[in-house]
Structure 1
């Protein structure tokens, strides 16, 4: 019963580490998807005295993906009853050209500033509106959220690693008699500690399996998908090939490294 309790403690600790890492990965994917969503909605307004082609705009900066002219017909239609045809035609010739520029990715605040400066170097461009204040607020909020999750995940992983180290020391004490007898017969350190490595590897595999099962249940019920769809995002929270493999490697790495720490520390004490 005590052995089962120790196994359960290590499995829960490893699962917590893996869950914290996977949450960070999921948040990173969510932010990347949200940036793509914002990129599709975000645009820069350019006012110019001459007509530009999409190729000319793309040549100004590699960040520009495409451009489209903003029609002024509606404004002219409203003035038809208030102005003569001659004045209306004259106004149509002198009216500035308006363009909406779309970018190939969601830019940083500094990239927006640099893009505005490059566009304004063209003498034909009168004004560039990048909505910098709104853009900066959204961008900083995304970075803040990502940083908070990252710090939270690192803190959980660090504290949980200390708990794993403590559990492995208990395992060492439980098997100390067997290891001492093997040492008397000249068994090398790796052979004496084989039982610790075997237990660590088995628990790492079990913890990974529980993580996969947890995210399978989350995906099956789909309540996270509903929350993400409210902001227009659809992502894969858990890739059952790549994420499972990465989680298994992390669990094995943490278990084996901490077991080595215990074994090497014990060898130096002897």
Structure 2
């Protein structure tokens, strides 16, 4: 029973740490997926007195994904009924060329401002409409969510590591006599502390499995499906094989680091 309690007090902060890491991976993928969705419906409208080409625009805006002309026929059809042929032909001659510019990545506010400035300097371009207000609102919201989850994961991770180090130091203190005897018999540092490393590795594997299974179960619930549906995000944000590898590697690495730190701190005492 005492052994179970010892492992529980190491597993608890480790589970919290891995939960924050998996949440960060999950939210990061969700944000990337949402940015892709927004990008599919986002374009910059350009009015120009001169004809423009995709190659020319791409030279100025490297992240250009597509550049297509807009047929002004639907506008002309609406005004033609109220005009005579001569006025209509004059307007048709003076009508600007209209284009839609799509990007291959969701731009930041600074980059969008730079793109507008670059387009404004191209001869012939009269006006650009980037819908900056709507774009910036979406970008700020996504940035706030990303920043919040990063901050949460960092704080929770640091607190978890400190608690883990304290628990490993307790293990070290409880087996201090045993390690002293092993030292007298000529055992090295790794041999004397082998039980610490083994215990930490076992807990690391258990924690990685528990968190992975927990998120796997969550992905099958109605709450998860409703959330993804509301955000218009698909199941591709779940990647359990990759995540389990990341969690297991991070869990073992952090546990080994905590053991080494606890050993070094114990030596200084």
**Could you tell me the TM-score, scaled by structure 2's length?**
0.92
Q: Which residue pairs with 1:200 in the alignment? A: 200
Query: 1:46 and 1:237, CA in 2 relative to 1: closer, same or farther beyond 3 A?
Result: closer
Query: Cα offset for 1:154?
Result: 0.7
For 1:41 and 1:72, how far apart are their aligned partners in 2?
20
d(CA) in 1 for partners of 2:79, 2:265: 86
Query: Could you say which residue in structure 1 is the equivalent of 2:128?
Result: 128
Any conservation in 2 of the 1:33–1:235 contact (CA below 8 Å)? no
* Alignment check: 8 A CA contact 2:33 2:237 kept: no
- Higher mean displacement: 217-226 or 75-84: 217-226
| CA positional deviation for 1:237 | 4.0
**Deviation for aligned residue 1:222:** 5.4
> CA–CA distance in 2 between the matches of 1:59 and 1:185?
73
Are 2:9 and 1:9 equivalent residues in the alignment? yes
Structure 1: how far apart are the matches of 2:106 and 2:162?
39
Corresponding residue for residue 257 of structure 2: 257
Q: Give the distance between the partners of 2:87 and 2:173, measured in 1 at CA.
A: 96
C-alpha displacement of 1:224: 2.2
SS of corresponding position for 1:183: helix
- Aligned residue for 1:261, secondary structure, equals helix
Distance 1:177 1:60, change over 3 A: closer
Q: Does the residue aligned with 1:58 lie in a helix, a strand or coil?
A: helix
User: Which runs of 5 or more residues in structure 1 are unaligned?
Assistant: none
Q: How does 1:11-50 map to 2 (within 5 A)?
A: 11-50=11-50
For the residues of structure 1 that align with 2:257 and 2:29, how far apart are their CA atoms? Answer: 28
How many Å separate the matches in 2 of 1:50 and 1:25? 46
User: Residue in 2 aligned with 1:180?
Assistant: 180
Q: 2 CA distance for matches of 1:176 and 1:184?
A: 12
Over 3 Å counting, the alpha-carbon distance change for 1:169 and 1:60 in structure 2 is closer
Shift of 1:217: 0.5
Aligned residues: 269
Counterpart Cα distance in 2 of 1:96 and 1:188: 82
- Deviations 1:164-221, CA, capped at 9 Å, x for gaps: 1222122223322322322232322221111111111111111111111111101222
Please tell me the root mean square deviation across aligned C-alpha atoms, in Å.
Answer: 1.9
Aligned position for 1:157 = 157
Aligned to 1:170: 170
Separation in 2 of the partners of 1:86 and 1:236?
57
Structure 1 equivalent of residue 215 of structure 2: 215
Please give the secondary structure, in 1, of the residue aligned with 2:248: helix
Tell me the TM-score normalised to structure 1 length: 0.92
The alpha-carbon distance between structure 1 residues 236 and 80, as it changes in their structure 2 partners (threshold 3 A), is closer
- Indicate the SS of the match to 1:180: helix
Q: 1:237 to 1:174 in 2, by over 3 A?
A: farther
- The C-alpha deviation readout for 1:108-157, integer Å capped at 9, x for no partner, is 22222222222222221111111222222221222121111111111101
Give, in whole Å, the separation in 2 of the partners of 1:209 and 1:107: 37
